[in-house]
Amino acid sequence: MKILNHTLGFPRIGVNRELKKAQEKYWSGNLSKQDLSSVGYELRKKNWQKQKESGIDYIPVGDFAWYDHVLTTSMMLGNIPERHNNIISSVDLDCLFRIARGHAPDIAASEMTKWFNTNYHYIVPEFYKDKVFKFSWKQILDEVDEALSLGYKVKPILLGPITYLWLGKVKGKYFDRLDILKDIIPIYKYVLKELSKRGIDFVQIDEPVLVLELPKKWQDAYYDVYKELFGITKLLLTTYFDSIEHNIEFIRDLPVQGIHIDLVFGKYNLNNFISKIPSEWMLSLGVINGRNIWRADLVKWFKSIKLILKNHRKILIGSSCSLLHTPVDLETEQNLDAEAKKWFSFSVQKCIELKLLSNALNNDDIDLITQWSLPIKDRSFSKRVHKIAVENRLSNIVIDKYQRLNSYNIRTIEQNKKFNLPILPTTTIGSFPQTIDIRKLRRDFKSGIINKEEYSKGIKNHIQKVIRIQEELDIDVLVHGEPERNDMVEYFGENLEGFVFTDNGWVQSYGSRCVKPPIIIGDISRPKPITIEWSKYAQSLTKKPVKGMLTGPVTILFWSFPREDVSLKKMATQIALALHDEVLDLEKEKIEIIQIDEPALREGLPLRKSSWAEYLSWAVNVFRLSASGVKNTTQIHTHMCYCEFNDIMDAIALLDADVITIETARSDMELLESFKNFKYPNEVGPGVYDIHSSNIPSVKSIMMLLNRAIKYIPLKRIWINPDCGLKTRNWNETILALKNMVEATKTLRKEIKNSHLK
């Protein structure tokens, strides 16, 4: 039987971020809906063509999304929160964007959180009792028709119904989410029937929650659901990000025609696994890493798959997960040095890898792939990879390096005396609007159009503006605004040894937000100070404290493309040592409030709880290592956003940051339940407005959130801040929102003072 190949999805943003640019033009009123739709159509066409030309047999359809694929599923099911409906309750593209971004005057967007353990985000489905579901969004059918009309062998993709329910949240009156299945299964059946009419070979139905340790009732729901869906069209039950071997006893009995497993991130005893699945099932093997950019060792995979073929003949090979987590095309990189470029593989190249591997297997000829795999083997001898000085420093870490000199209870007394801040101190998370002028300044310096002196003068002018505006707004603890930083991770990577960078290595984080992760290629160290110049200058402009702003070791690690030849723990510890040096240098320069952001702490958590303890142990330790050795009076902040804290409150407390700032506005302060129930011991800054929405929060809405916050956290331990950094907002929005934030805070202070006087 001939072995065919497929991808589980392709990047939707375009090689030049065409989707992002079109979305933002549409949102600003500078592009029509028809023109936006045309951009989407052209992108889909190009993506299908690129995959076909690269040798992909089954072309995925349904991987394109106007914001994220979970929200697309909500639209398909007609699951529109009432507040986002328009007058006639029509389900259209504007409705989708209202859910994702909120809308005026003060309608909150739906909550956003991380897609499993990735830096991709999705809009959380909201479930209300007695909600009526109906097929409301034809995107999947329309796009299948587009691809079929162009002559492609199409493989539609649907997010599975149980995963969809697992990812959502019950709002209002509580009920069991699984009760919704009876309402949405008819819609899935209708879609599958329509796909069957179009002569589809099989449908990729994504059920990644099967890698989790599911409660028994959720396991039981699978059989009932797939019994209902069975027989309409062939289903490839698709899993990724980890192994499903622990769930195979109930998965093996599901009425489907095939299973996809992730062999990159999942640990399998393949002989045992294959012996337990039906022999007639198609077994799709995810062998090309959909989450990293390293060239695959195709020879290794050739040998593994040849062994599998002895026990199971119906084989399909594919990417481990959707390729949306990797950049589009390595060939667009003109400035990567030749040695490093040979080590990498972006989405287009991963398609080529699948074709090379399937050809080698079908022809039983390893020579076709030996040459491709050579650079990976040669890399182990590169002098850029291993550094003796870094290894020596790692081996000399002592246990005292993982803790502050004294406990928070002692530190907070000394910090209060030093800073003398008012009750409910106000601050921001770090970044201020990244204007066209700022981006041009960085670009001109990088390309040599301006010199170091001109660049430094320009950056200082922007810092002056940010400090002046914050003082005028009467914010208590200031930031320098980060005009020198293109990205919170890329900037640090550029100033550390062990990283390389791309010009076009963009991946989608959410909606129109794209990031360009650095690539860790070798041992990491700090050759010179990184942030000192700008932080020191900002502090010289004001008598108020200015925070030093650092990205934490876990976040730098997980928001980069990591090495695959050493452990995550080892890389994170190397980064922590580099940041430790930076923290001590900031303190020497009288920067005595230092924020070390760790938004990726929860993201890095293994998907199965049985593996959490080991990860959290080293993740906490590397944060503490980066912040260790400072005085009691030096206040350490950290920031986290858009993740579920409930499961890891013990670990968050163990970070021992003096202040943690978090996202709470989009989730309506729900996250503070975690801090109340756990009785978090240190200080908390609950975000009081959603910076990912263009809505300007009113004083009234901020007051409502603050009044909720003081029910959860003691007054003396609350800080007031936005949900996240402000780099994506414009100056008008930023100033108006911060003005309202400060006004609301001062009003609450007066109310508290008056109530005490009474």
Average pLDDT in the 481-505 region?
94
Could you tell me the pTM of the whole model? 0.92
Q: What angle do CA 382, 385, 391 make, to 5 degrees?
A: 130
pLDDT of residue 642: 60
Helix (H, G, I), strand (E, B) or coil at 286: strand
* pLDDT at residue 50 tops 60: yes
Strand 497-500 and strand 519-525: the pairing is antiparallel
- 82 secondary structure, DSSP code: G
d(CA 702, CA 737): 10
What is the per-residue burial (b if ≥16 Cβ within 10 Å, else e) of 457-480?
ebbbebbeebbebbeebebbbbbb
pLDDT in tens, 127-179: 999 999 999 999 999 999 999 999 999 999 999 999 999 999 999 899 999 99
- 125 secondary structure, DSSP code: P
Please state which of the ranges 288-302, 385-399, 717-731 shows the lowest mean pLDDT.
385-399
pLDDT in tens, 72-98: 999 999 999 998 887 666 789 999 999
Helix (H, G, I), strand (E, B) or coil at 52: helix
Residue of 103, 480, 580, 692 marked active site: 692
pLDDT in tens, 613-634: 999 999 999 999 999 999 999 9
| Distance from chain centroid for Cα 197 | 37
* pLDDT at residue 757 tops 60: no
The two structure tokens encoding residue 49: 């063509």
Average pLDDT in the 312-321 region?
96
pLDDT of residue 1: 78
State the residue for tokens 């023109």.
Answer: 35
* pLDDT at residue 668 tops 70: no
Average pLDDT in the 115-130 region?
94
Kindly report the number of other CB atoms within 10 A of residue 692's CB atom.
Answer: 23
* pLDDT at residue 715 tops 70: yes
Asked whether the beta carbons of 543 and 476 are under 8 A apart, the reply is no
Please state which of the ranges 272-276, 393-397, 568-572, 671-675 shows the lowest mean pLDDT.
671-675
Average pLDDT in the 442-455 region?
94
Torsion, CA 524, CA 527, CA 528, CA 529, rounded to 10: 10
pLDDT in tens, 383-418: 899 999 999 999 888 766 778 889 999 999 999 999
* pLDDT at residue 553 tops 80: yes
d(CA 612, CA 411): 30
Confirm whether 692 is a catalytic residue: yes
The two structure tokens encoding residue 27: 């949102």
